[in-house]
Structure 1
């Protein structure tokens, strides 16, 4: 039986090879997974032209996935360096990579990335449009913008961020409700400016059906972008953000009617006490489509440490039902991240994702923690290193300060609670001041 997209196959009762791969990774019955894909509660981004892909699922009942952003810009246009970052991200088991390239040899970089990546690849075509055509923003036509989307689809991109929810109506609500940070989404700000300069509706909203034609043809998952996401905690959960979310919910149903898979993008900067409510809003207004968030970043005061502010919010969001976390690095708000920044961002986001999986009760998530606890109880240092999310850093810290008693560490030495409890429970003597018997 023929099918056009993963969702089309799922609705027809067909189990695709991508579904089999995801079900195996998630330890889930493949028939259950198929039902979730058919309902739009799980997406499997898998462009027909991405031949190297090792499929992943994002959504209800699955492990929280993470995304790594990279790409070339006018100030940093080293294709080889960005490909090196991509290889490192894949080595560190990031499930997705977003190419945010906006200048220079974007097509060369994108095709190389898709060709070598086993991870899901995403893009934001709006970023690429100005450089692709060498035209100023105002001079880009609707046909130009749609053509860039199709080019990315042809090149094998698995999901695309398309800011279809910032309509002229949304823009008016934004104007009437003053924000401290205005619009901070790069794609959202470009589209807002395009609409203002040309006195036209957002082409990604007005011609949404044409975008669906492209997505259906190549099986591209739509990541409906949050142009009005808050850029500081004072702007969160405001009328523009909620209005856009309502529109994205309507567009989700239109996409599903065409068997196009959908994720919804979300905030952004947000205080801790608003995160759970925002997850509930997205799941309700967007019909339980998978939710993809940046952070949320829970305080605005920590440039250089935003991988931490983001991981705090990400853990809470994942625990509340978010399905996909976009990493944030220590360089956020400051510069393009380097390899070390990227590693820090990946580790912090993976910690947040796993913490969320524990809270959600994802099948098998607790096993990793239990194995680590067993290794600690046995004072099995090599076992602990092998289980560590960053074994290199754990080994480095241990090697920098070795204790007199090799079974302990230099924090407690022979007063180590684990050591002493093991001994006393085995009926042995405890020597703290002297050598063991």
Structure 2
């Protein structure tokens, strides 16, 4: 990890620079995949499965028998863990339901807003070196709570044509039955355009590699997506009360996601640097994915700043996906935090709990998008429709305002839509 001691603000862009990703090089390849799926449907998906995954599929759909078999394959401990995570995630997301609030903006005019579930949603779940079955819960449960009529899940299979059993079991916990064995950019294309087997959806959710991310961005003229996404990242703010072993563990937890993940530690104590580096070296040796984590650490940073105020300011500038406040006064900093996907407060709040089971959603904005984007929530699966209803008197009271503004904009028909009603009402009164 690169060390910065008391950097001036002009160095912040360098500190906050993400690992370089030139997506432009991927666009021709991804565009070709999208076009092939759009034109050839299932045939293209089977061809890509053979090319990229080394498997020849006769059917893209996961059969009910495969889902039942997956349940039998999982150890009881993992099944119990998934059920506990499901309970917490459901509780957190159900609490996000909002009652309808009707507002009388002025006498005779009532306005309100209601939520309507997006009817068809597509969930992408990576299934490569680290099959993210937790993502099934994070996306499938709010989709079900929102009331989405059709939920499609796409995930790659192994060379034997099997989907990871934990992914299938998690899907069954969410009530998802439309599961398809396809991954990568071709899966995004299938959900965006529809094929003979895979229904077209209205919005696509889920993380993925650079090809998946590029595909999601390219199909936005056809479907909505949850958010722009990139490699995983965490920023830890550590004061003198932080345990360097905990800090190191949190940094490595993100670093093991992939070599393009980024971890940053900002500390107010110079003496903390060596302790964290020592803990990192010791813990890294014990990780099965140590090579991946080590490569991620190569472009990560440790920054020493004067105080917590400066630490929070630098964090807001970076806008991390995950922010851990490993400091005694963490709760006192919360109002100063303006850009972060999810915040973990105190020395006993590891980011891992948010990834799996605390209840909050782990699908979060990365690559600095936390300055403007929120993580996935129940609202992500809703459309918000506004309503208004006017009485005769309500229209009379606002008529002059509307016609004056409409005519000033040169939109006479807008004005006429009000005046014709007013004239009609006056005529009825005279008769």
More strand by share: 2
TM norm structure 1: 0.28
Asked which structure has the greater RCO (Cα within 8 Å, sep 6+), the reply is 2
TM-score (norm 2): 0.29
Q: Which has the larger radius of gyration?
A: 2
